[in-house]
Amino acid sequence: MAPPKRYPKSNRRKDSLRLVARDHATVLLKKPAAYYDDSLNVTWGSQDQYEVIKQLGKGKYGEVYEGINLRLAARDKDRVCVIKVMRPVKEHRLRREVKILQHVSGGPNIVRLLDIVRDPDTKTPSFVFDFVDAMPFKELQAAVTDLDVRYYIFQLLIALDYCHSRGIMHRDVKPGNVLIDHAKRQLKLIDWGLADFYTPGKEYPVRVATRFYKGPELLVDIKDYTYSLDVWGVGCMLAALVFKKPVFFRGEDEFDQLVKVVRVLGSDGLYAYCDKYGVELDPRLAQLCGYRPRVAWRKFVTGDNSALCSPEAFDLLDRLLQYDHHERLTCQEALQHAYFDPVREGLPGFKPLPEPMAAMMAQLEARRRQQQQQQQAGSSGGGGGGGSAEGGEAGASGSGGGAGGSGGGGAGPSGQGRQQQQQQQLMQQGGNGGIRDEAEAEEGPPVPLRGPPAAARAAKETAVLA
């Protein structure tokens, strides 16, 4: 059955469950309307101050160039800049992007907005940013170590938590919008053109984010999504880095994108997710998904990527790549995960972090240790509730262990020897030497379509009879 080429359109019951973000949900309630509305008087700079050198890239909403600030001396390190020339957009969209940039610019690991200029004749606006000598994602994948991956994902989470704490969803987290200067160990989150302010309960367009990084909520037409949409993008990036894949979920269109997710995470979780939020899948989409078992992360381990794989990485993937957007870790929770213990503990190979990130990390570590003490005091059993690497495939719930994941609350191994032992175990458990592509994660042909869980069907039938 060939996938339809139009965007999926699912139906949702009017009385369906609607939940708000688990963190930073009330930020805008504490802000004046001028913080988030369309009212904005832009102070335009002079474009004559800048000279374009070469094109760096282009997208749907603009073209990006390397440029120089002519008012700065040739030896000034800030002389080189990035100029984003906007394509025609609606005025309110431009004002929103400017306002969001002003709120987040200069935050930890977020690109700094230097100037806003406009062509006096065409009125075409341009944004001027700091220049980042970024390494292409494909080259980065070949260069990074296990500690590097942990470090950069940690930095990305810091950037996202910062913007979430200001009531802003990025809505386009992907490698192309995460610039990494590997030589300087710097990460910058860029491109706020699709970002928006989060209001609890508000319905937003689902045509945001880049296809390969779209969360399931977008693909099943849930419009009241939250900051956790960004967390899904982080999970996709982590999976691509750990398993050394250019893209982890590579769909041909929006229908096929969900199919690719189901082939890894399984169909039970998808149907439970839809049932929880009162979503009736587009029939063609449901037929394409069919029934699929969940695939354990260890099945993706190969000789090429085993050094990047660990039980902590698998457990974090379980908690980031949840169908249920409400069950995903928040950025703050993810920052406290055991996967990042080596980053927080400053193992050899990491340079001291500059302020204010070092202070933020210290606060997170103190909070994490306090929670561990409370857990130990409350339960003699302790532990984070996760499965071991031998634990089999994970379900869709965020409370369990996972596809070979370890408990999220416990401390990870601190020694290189133990990490090597774990990697060897993972390779042995992989069995078939790893799966080369997410499409190969299928375990046999799809069986006929199954519906929602029996209990859910019975509840629906009872409601109809009533």
The pLDDT value given to residue 126 = 96
Q: Which residues of 349-358 are buried (b: 16+ CB within 10 A; e: fewer)?
A: ebeebeeebe
CB-CB neighbours of 70 under 10 Å: 10
Q: Which residues of the chain have pLDDT under 70?
A: 1-10, 347-365, 367-369, 371-372, 374-376, 378-466
The pLDDT value given to residue 411 = 39
Cα distances from 350 to residues 102, 147, 149, 157, 353, in angstroms, run 31, 8, 12, 17, 8
Question: Which residues are annotated as catalytic?
Answer: 172
Residue ranges, CATH 3.30.200.20, the chain:
44-131
Strand partners, 54: 66
The pLDDT value given to residue 367 = 64
> Which of these CATH numbers, 3.40.50.2300, 3.40.50.720, 2.130.10.10, 1.10.510.10, describes 14-36+132-349?
1.10.510.10
The pLDDT value given to residue 369 = 67
Convert the chain into a string of H (helix), E (strand) and C (coil). CCCCCCCCCCEECCCCCCCCCCCCCCCHHHCCHHHCCCCCCCCCECHHHEEEEEEEEECCCEEEEEEEECCCCCCCCCCEEEEEEECCCCHHHHHHHHHHHHHHCCCCCECCEEEEEECCCCCCEEEEEECCCCCCHHHHHHHCCHHHHHHHHHHHHHHHHHHHCCCEECCCCCHHHEEEECCCCEEEECCCCCCEECCCCCCCCCCCCCHHHCCHHHHCCCCCCCCHHHHHHHHHHHHHHHCCCCCCCCCCCHHHHHHHHHHHHCHHHHHHHHHHCCEECCHHHHHHHCECCCCCHHHHCCCCCHHHCCHHHHHHHHHHCCCCCCCCCCHHHHHCCHHHHHHHCCCCCCCCCCCCHHHHHHHHHHHHHHHHHHHHHHCCCCCCCCCCCCCCCCCCCCCCCCCCCCCCCCCCCCCHHHHHHHHHHHHHHHCCCCCCCHHHHCCCCCECCCCCCHHHHHHHHHHHHC
Q: The tokens of 192 are what?
A: 């706020």
What sign has the CA pseudo-torsion 12, 18, 21, 25?
positive
Cα distances from 395 to residues 296, 310, 403, in angstroms, run 10, 19, 8
Residue ranges, CATH 1.10.510.10, the chain:
14-36+132-349
Cα–Cα distance measured from residue 22 to residue 364, given in angstroms and rounded to the nearest whole number: 17
Cα distances from 322 to residues 316, 420, 443, in angstroms, run 10, 28, 21
Under 8 Å between Cβ of 84 and 126 = yes
Under 8 Å between Cβ of 100 and 48 = no
pLDDT tens per residue, range 191-226: 999 999 999 999 999 999 999 999 999 999 999 999
123 among annotated binding-site residues = no
The pLDDT value given to residue 417 = 54
pLDDT tens per residue, range 260-288: 999 999 999 999 999 999 999 888 888 88
pLDDT tens per residue, range 396-455: 333 333 344 433 333 344 444 555 555 455 444 444 333 333 333 333 333 333 333 444
Long-range own/partner contacts, residues 340-346 (CB < 8 A, 24 or more apart) = 340/150, 340/153, 340/154, 341/312, 341/411, 341/412, 341/414, 342/147, 342/150, 342/412, 342/414, 343/147, 343/150, 343/151, 343/154, 344/368, 345/414
Cα–Cα distance measured from residue 184 to residue 77, given in angstroms and rounded to the nearest whole number: 14
Nearest residue to 63 (alpha-carbon basis) of 80, 86, 39: 86
CATH topology of domain 44-131: Phosphorylase Kinase; domain 1 (3.30.200)
Q: Which residues of 198-211 are buried (b: 16+ CB within 10 A; e: fewer)?
A: bbeeeebebebbbb
Strand pairing of 168-169 and 196-197? antiparallel
